[in-house]
Amino acid sequence: MALTWSDKYRLITKNLSEWLGDVKLKNILKERDLKLYWGTATTGKPHIGYFAPMSKIADFLRAGTEVTILFADLHAYLDNMKAPWELLELRTQYYEAVIKAMLKSIGVPLDKLKFVKGTDYQLSKEYTLDVYRLTSLVTEHDAKKAGAEVVKQVSNPLLSGLLYPSLQALDEHYLKVDAQFGGIDQRKIFTFSEKYLPMLGYEKCIHLMNPMIPGLAGAKMSSSEEDSKIDLLDNPATIKKKLKKAFCEPGNITDNGVLTFCKHVVFPLFKDEVFNISRTAEFGGDVSFFKYEDLEAAFASQEIHPGDLKNAVEVYINRLLDPIRKEFEANSKLKLLASKAYPPPQKQKAEAEITPARLDIRVGKIVEVKRHPDADSLYVEKIDLGESNGPRTIVSGLVNFVPLNEMENRMVVILANLKPANLRGISSHGMVLCASVEEPIKQVEPLRPPTDSIPGDKIVIEGYEDGVADDVLNPKKKVWEKLQVDLVVNGDGIASWSGNPLLTSTGGKITCDTLKNVPIK
């Protein structure tokens, strides 16, 4: 029996949170079938919350609607780069594969759907020109407001996120549809579209909004929050574990993701079945519900325990996901696609704690010294650190502070694991540590090791003797700069770090001849 326009209207608007353009919707249905699109940004893995729009797409098709599914790959990148450019194509392929598998699992015929990728038309000359036209009309305030519920919000937003609503508005015109379908979180983008598209001379669309399914933790179910969602490829054990932790307070029907999933997915998709909850006789025995409203009322009055509801929903989730899991298990290409599109995050090396043990400080002996040929304030020294490959070349700015004759054969303290630096054409492989003061006049004085020291003696900071020095200090990590601020010559003329003295292997202290209470640099 053919559906009347009012039958189609009821199917299209069933279970929606809100819709804009009611008069236009009715007028179109009186003349012809509706043309509609639903778009999804190809970011994180689709989860079971996607069954809510899939259920509505089934309703739209039953109402004779021409449905286009948009894989919004460019939107995914613009949304604070949630999908890295190099993964964009792979994630779009994954979305297409998994959403088609979802639709098949609930009996939606794919031949009645049109699938489009955003970059297939969003990079055209005409579309790009319209983006520029919109930028001359849209205010920063309106762009931010439109994306507030959809685009990732940060304190210093990228321009790409501000463009996102404009692209979504233009999609309506370029996909040649009457209506756009999305979650209630899209409402501000929809009203943005209704305001700005007519300014370009384009027709205002109808907007249909689905309720959002709360996540397992009680807030919006999100692809980017692992604990809030059940992935479409999660195994039964993982589903059981996630549901066990899900927020489902006794009698609470607000922000209850388990109960909302029943309303918008289980009951619509299994409409020809009764909803069964299995219980032992001790707890009232099995109970069945023909309507969602009866289940909600029973849960609100605490006739249904959260654990029993979760167990029942687990059965339906596995029934929905079984065909999807089997399709991916049986197809090695799909399994490979999933792993490439969502590679496991690389384990970051634990950042080593910044302690003075990371400094390689040694006693050195200057065996040769001369002025730098191209810099009047620099000495070029050959310093013996007891290394098998001979003395190191180290450049230091001591010409104005220590006479040349006092530098010859002097014992000094060397920071030996700095990254080599080129100083006016000569590579320097370490630093002579000195006490230094800027006022009232600048004074610089090399630290002095104990008299019994020999070249190569290791110098440690008391309390940090057991640490391991870095082979080379990474300049980007600023290890030396962070430690140096606590290196001083104290009031007794002893070199120390945060009050702990610098010591040689024999327990001798590092000193300064004349300067006290000054930094070491």
Cα torsion angle, 488, 491, 494, 500, sign: negative
What is the pTM assigned to this prediction? 0.63
- The mean per-residue pLDDT over the stretch 344-372 comes to 85
- Confidence check: pLDDT of 191 > 80: yes
498, two tokens: 């945060």
Q: Break the chain into its structural domains and give their ranges.
A: 3-208, 234-319, 354-517
pLDDT band at 473 (very low <50, low <70, confident <90, very high): very high
CB 60 within 8 A of CB 12: yes
E strands along 321-377, which residues? 361-371
Can you tell me the distance from the alpha carbon of 203 to that of 192, in angstroms, rounded to the nearest whole number?
A: 13
The per-residue pLDDT for 224 is 47
Tell me which of 181 and 44 has the higher pLDDT.
Answer: 181
Separation of CA 491 from chain center: 50
- Confidence check: pLDDT of 150 > 90: no
- The mean per-residue pLDDT over the stretch 137-149 comes to 89
- Residue whose C-alpha is closest to residue 306's, from 236, 254, 258, 356: 258
Residues near 265 by beta carbon (within 8 Å), at least 6 away in sequence? 48, 51, 52, 55, 213, 316, 320
pLDDT tens digits along 376-424: 999 999 999 999 999 999 999 999 999 999 999 999 999 999 999 999 9
The per-residue pLDDT for 68 is 96
Q: Which residues are 502's β-sheet partners? A: 461
Of these ranges, 79-93, 141-155, 211-225, 281-295, the one predicted with the greatest mean pLDDT is 281-295
Question: Is CATH 3.30.410.40 correct for 3-208?
Answer: no
- Confidence check: pLDDT of 149 > 60: yes
CB 517 within 8 A of CB 490: yes
- Residue whose C-alpha is closest to residue 292's, from 331, 263, 327, 317: 263
CB 162 within 8 A of CB 143: yes
Can you tell me the distance from the alpha carbon of 204 to that of 190, in angstroms, rounded to the nearest whole number?
A: 10
The per-residue pLDDT for 256 is 87
| Nearest-5° Cα angle at 310, 309 to 316 | 95
E strands along 165-261, which residues? 179-183, 206-210
| Nearest-5° Cα angle at 12, 10 to 18 | 95
Please state which of the four CATH numbers 1.10.240.10, 1.10.150.20, 3.30.1330.40, 3.10.180.10 is assigned to the domain occupying 234-319. 1.10.240.10
The per-residue pLDDT for 351 is 63
State the average pLDDT for the chain: 90
DSSP-derived 3-state class of residue 401? coil
The per-residue pLDDT for 391 is 96
Which numeric CATH code is attached to 354-517? 2.40.50.140
The per-residue pLDDT for 521 is 92
The per-residue pLDDT for 507 is 87
pLDDT tens digits along 248-261: 889 998 878 899 88
